[in-house]
Amino acid sequence: MPRGTTSTRPAPIPVRVCGHCHTCHRTDCSGQLSMIHRAWYCSPTCYQLKRLLVGEPVSQDQLRLLAAIRERHYPEEKMAAQKEHTEQMINDREIKVIVDKAIRDEYGEDTE
């Protein structure tokens, strides 16, 4: 009887991963694509927080609001734990990160 090469492990689930909060989302989920950051964000809040963290200019009012949001909803420990969990799922091949076509076209196939 010929030996098969099929694995009992299911194929990784294709997902989008937010460039800020590192949460996994279905590939048909809406969000915001940033060509500047080469990333997809699950919400405008995540996009604005990432802009703040990379030092892009924001007004004082935006700074106060984003700092309060970050402190309340995105604590450092939670963000680190979510990133670690997502990276573990990628390493275990439970999920496969899908890079948007626009980013692949602009920056090449090796972009993650």
Span 36-59, average pLDDT? 93
Measured CA to CA, the distance from residue 61 to residue 38 in angstroms comes to 26
Alpha helices in 21-100 (DSSP H): 44-53, 60-73, 76-91
The phi and psi torsions of 23 (rounded to 5 degrees) equal -85, 150
73-102 pLDDT tens trace: 999 999 999 999 999 999 999 999 998 888
Question: What is the Cα–Cα distance from 50 to 103, expressed in whole angstroms?
Answer: 17
Residue 53: is its pLDDT beyond 50? yes
Enumerate the domain spans of the chain.
Answer: 13-107
